[in-house]
Chain A
């Protein structure tokens, strides 16, 4: 993404910055490049239009009562978010190091007077910021539509949805970055990222469904296995914030609400935070050890 000329030229990185200063300079550069790129604009546009469409759909089914069950709009957006946001974040993360390495630009980046950790963190922060911006555009427009059509949105629940989505994007981005650090070619990185996406979105849930049916798993076991998947943690977190209870998710949800009570939301957020931090940490360590080749 980054062009060498731009890096070296118009706004070269000032020498001998502090750690955070150098990281932020990289982050700003990455952010500007990401926001200007075509894939990013298209993803943003697609997400926005789909979010607006889901909002319209949900509103159209409300009919006379002007009444949105357990936030039907949010339920619709949930499905959308769980499909698109991981795909966006994983592919963006997967491209960030492997692409530079493949094009040979990584060496130039590393030649700057900053550490490898700063380069990686800078890229991560920049991309994360870009992703959050993209999500905000989508959620913002869709919120306007909701407000215009119904007069009021469940504001708190909606804001929590945005926050949880941002957390989800960061978790997926750090997995993507880890994949990127480990891959030599960007096509491999993208392929692995797509496979991870498929696994998190479909395969793990389907596997758990099959396991539940075959082994007659108890509620504790189903719940414990399910929250290992950051997407399930995301879904439950959003529903808890909206509903104060997981009873819409049947016996397992009722068990979780009873067993963990008010701590449930924190627990789910913490799960996602772990998914955001651990792969990133692993990526930093591996990137510092491995060469740029």
Chain B
């Protein structure tokens, strides 16, 4: 986080300061000056662009390392694409790029490449309909850029970063906010690491893009954190998806994806932690969910009823309003919730572990009556967090004929959270202490009630002299 803050502060300081200076002093220069510098350079040589604001549209047609050193601003003044890279071997580094057009039918971008490989790094992009757009630019690198879209309605925005038919690219350490998607179309073998996407539509969005590793990305306050569609053999490792609560509101959404591995991710306070829509879809493929932390979501795991052949092991599901649910009515029992005798930790598991091996002796079979009612009538969600909800669940426990079918069966639930990153150990004693506190409180409360009514019964209607 501190690094993120540092990078953003640097970017902002580097980006804004010279802008202010040049606004006050020098007038803007035409983009032709930059084109002249490039034309004068040797192919592949380095061109340092002096500080200042350059207005117009830039076309780069020969290999060059173009370096703004954090002090040069390329301003499209609201017309078309600002920088278009038409040759491989181009590096664009250290610029502030801003002011694209707004006509979405021509998809104006701050920086567009139509040849690869290219390197786009350390730039600040603002007021751009599309941020960085790679079209058929394989082997490119997009690193350490800050992208802020135009302040438009979400429906009229463009993508912060988009790849189209660009295999083998590296997208890392970028910060994108207020945009539409980071979207990857038909692009394979990517490495997508440590990007931060917030306040956008889909944090990371895959369409028909296979064989990719996503790691260490932080996706916050988007409509959906990661949405993979028709994309196979993708690994999500160590990402954080938090507060993604838009109309869909999934931390991770998988639609028709085969052989996905989701491991070591944190899914926090999304509307739905993991959403599975017919994934995996092919015969013989599986989905693996291992060692993820799924906390404070309204629904931890939501799946369409036909979903099957997913394996869940060693995940931590804590304090989700509903741990797992089928979309509409149905069950998740065609998936496996334990591998090699290791299930998952469910914070609402009420069984016991007599032999002390860390595995609960009773299977975890959630049968929430309120959850079943919610599946039938979503409007009832109004009543969550209320004593009435507890009353419904209590009734279902007391009257077994009212209990619904179990939505899933975890045959080997963990009685304490697996020790992810050396943290779980501290949890249990604290919980015990909290239990003790709760018990004491209830005792006192009962005492208070008895005190009130007991005295009344004893004293009767006669006036009381002493009240102490």
Contact = CB atoms under 8 A, between A and B. Distances in A.
Contact of A205 (B388, B461, B468): B388
A126 B204 CA distance: 58
Interface in A258-272: none
A46 B451 contact: no
Contact of A105 (B318, B386, B440, B463): B463
Interface string B432-453: 0110011011101101100111
A46 B438 CA distance: 10
B329 interface: no
Interface string A204-248: 011011001100110100110010000110010001000000011
A69 B268 contact: yes
Contacts of A190: 452-453, 456
B293 A65 contact: yes
A51 B431 CA distance: 15
A253 interface: yes
Interface of chain B, helix or strand or loop or mixed? helix
The winner among B376, B378, B466 for most chain A CB atoms within 10 A is: B378
A244 B325 CA distance: 26
B380 A250 contact: yes
B385 interface: yes
Interface string A1-39: 101000000000000000000000000000001001111
B458 interface: no
B271 interface: yes
A212 B268 contact: no
Q: How large is the interface on A (under 10, 10 to 19, 20 to 34, 35 or more residues)?
A: 35 or more
A105 B381 CA distance: 49
Given A82-B386, A102-B461, A42 B444 contact: yes
Interface string B314-334: 001011000000000000000
Given A3-B465, A63-B424, A83 B387 contact: yes
Interface in A57-77: 57-65, 67-70, 72, 75
B386 A205 contact: yes
Contacts of A208: 383
Contact of B382 (A36, A67, A103, A250): A250
A251 B465 contact: no
Contact of A53 (B245, B374, B438): B438
B362 interface: no
A133 interface: no
A235 B385 contact: yes
A269 to B, nearest CB: 18
Contacts of A54: 438
Contacts of A231: 386
Interface in B364-381: 373-374, 376-381
Contact of A212 (B377, B385, B463, B468): B377
B35 to A, nearest CB: 48
Most buried by A among B387, B423, B468: B387
A42 B379 contact: no
Nearest to B445: A46
A231 B448 CA distance: 23
B266 A65 contact: yes
B184 interface: no
Interface in A133-182: none
A286 to B, nearest CB: 22
Contact of B347 (A61, A65, A202, A248): A61
Contact of A61 (B318, B420, B461, B465): B318
B464 A46 contact: no
B180 interface: no
Contact of B464 (A43, A53, A62, A103): A103
Given A42-B448, A60-B434, A253-B381, A247 B388 contact: no
A51 B424 CA distance: 24
Q: Determine chain A's interface SS by DSSP, over half rule.
A: helix
B463 A247 contact: no
B70 interface: no
B295 A69 contact: yes
B268 A67 contact: yes
- The residue among A69, A187, A222 with the most chain B CB atoms within 10 A of its own CB is A69
Contact of B467 (A36, A58, A217): A36
Q: Which of B388, B417, B463 has the most CB of A within 10 A?
A: B388
Contacts of B467: 1, 3, 33, 36-37
B46 to A, nearest CB: 44
A209 B388 contact: yes
A39 B451 contact: yes
B296 interface: yes
B391 interface: yes
A103 to B, nearest CB: 4
Contacts of A283: none
A56 B380 contact: no
B294 to A, nearest CB: 11
A49 interface: yes
B316 to A, nearest CB: 7
20 contacts: A43-B448, A46-B445, A49-B440, A53-B441, A63-B316, A63-B318, A64-B420, A65-B295, A67-B268, A67-B295, A69-B296, A72-B319, A83-B387, A205-B386, A209-B380, A216-B377, A217-B379, A248-B381, A249-B381, A249-B382
Task: Identify the 10 closest CB pairs spanning chains A and B, nearest first.
Answer: A250-B381, A69-B296, A205-B388, A42-B448, A53-B437, A49-B441, A56-B434, A103-B463, A50-B441, A46-B445
Given A69-B296, A222-B382, 16 more contacts: A3-B466, A36-B468, A42-B447, A53-B441, A54-B438, A56-B434, A57-B434, A60-B431, A65-B266, A70-B269, A70-B296, A84-B445, A205-B386, A212-B377, A249-B384, A253-B381
